[in-house]
Amino acid sequence: MGEDKEPMEEVEVLLATSNPGKVKEINAILAPYGIRVKLPEEKVEVEEKGTTFLENAYLKAKAYWERFRLPTVADDSGLVVEALGGYPGIYSSRFYSIDFGGIEEGYTPDEANIRKVLRLLEGKENRRAKFVACALFYDGGEGLFAFGECKGEITLKPEGEGGFGYDPVFRPDGYEVTMAQLSAEEKNRISHRGKAFRRLARLIRRVYREPSPSP
């Protein structure tokens, strides 16, 4: 990172997510900062009843903290589509199950979400969108958080096998291919999650760099 000359003490944090796509990405993003991600022994059901990415990230981290009492990081993220008034936004993971625009049976949640966005954008010229992520750390205190965004456009059809979620229909600005066609390293370099968690990692390192009081 260039900013830490002394050897870094490793920090372990619990990752409050049940999304395997996020786990892989967050692991890789935090590793260079000496932050090791530990997965919870069991899933904690969290009702994401917040109205913002920040609130929902906080609800997730706090729920895992309360269950395991370990420093915890959470991610709340989603796709914000201009012509859909910001939807699916905080409802991104379960957009398919929201009544407007119809519910389609027989598809995986990711497929059904993608089909719904494509259907709602049919005939619309404006296909601008952005991914947003809020990365949050909680250890019983005030918490730390950071945001990241990645801007781009919704393509006409899905392409690519990488990543997860809406990646096959999101073409980041400056690229000719979808997020799902990028390598994992390239996605983390430009993604909302990469930006948010690198910012958060710098904040966490600041907290853990405080010298411990002498005996």
- Residue pair 149/130 in contact (Cβ under 8 Å)? The answer is yes
Strands 128-138 and 170-172: unpaired
CB 12 within 8 A of CB 36: yes
- The one catalytic residue among 4, 75, 76, 139: 76
Between 60 and 205, name the residue whose CB sits nearer to ligand ITT. Answer: 60
What is the closest distance, in whole angstroms, from the C-beta atom of residue 192 to ligand ITT in the complex? 7
Eight-state DSSP code of residue 185:
H
Q: Is 75 a catalytic residue?
A: no
Residues 181-210 that bind ligand ITT (CB under 6 A): 191, 193
Of 92, 178, 181, 188, which one interacts with ligand ITT (CB under 6 A)? 92
58 binds ligand ITT (CB under 6 A): no
Q: How would you list the strands of the sheet with 170-172, edge to edge?
A: 35-38, 11-15, 72-81, 128-138, 144-154, 170-172
Specify the stretch interacting with ligand ITT by CB under 6 A; choose among 2-10, 116-124, 137-145, 160-168.
160-168
Query: Which residues between 103 and 132 bind ligand ITT (CB under 6 A)?
Result: 113, 131
Using DSSP bridges, classify how beta strands 11-15 and 35-38 pair: parallel, antiparallel or unpaired: parallel
The 8-class DSSP code of residue 87 comes to -
**By the rule CB under 6 A, 79 interacts with ligand ITT:** yes
Contact footprint for ligand ITT (CB under 6 A): 17-19, 22, 48, 60, 75-79, 92-93, 113, 131, 163-167, 191, 193
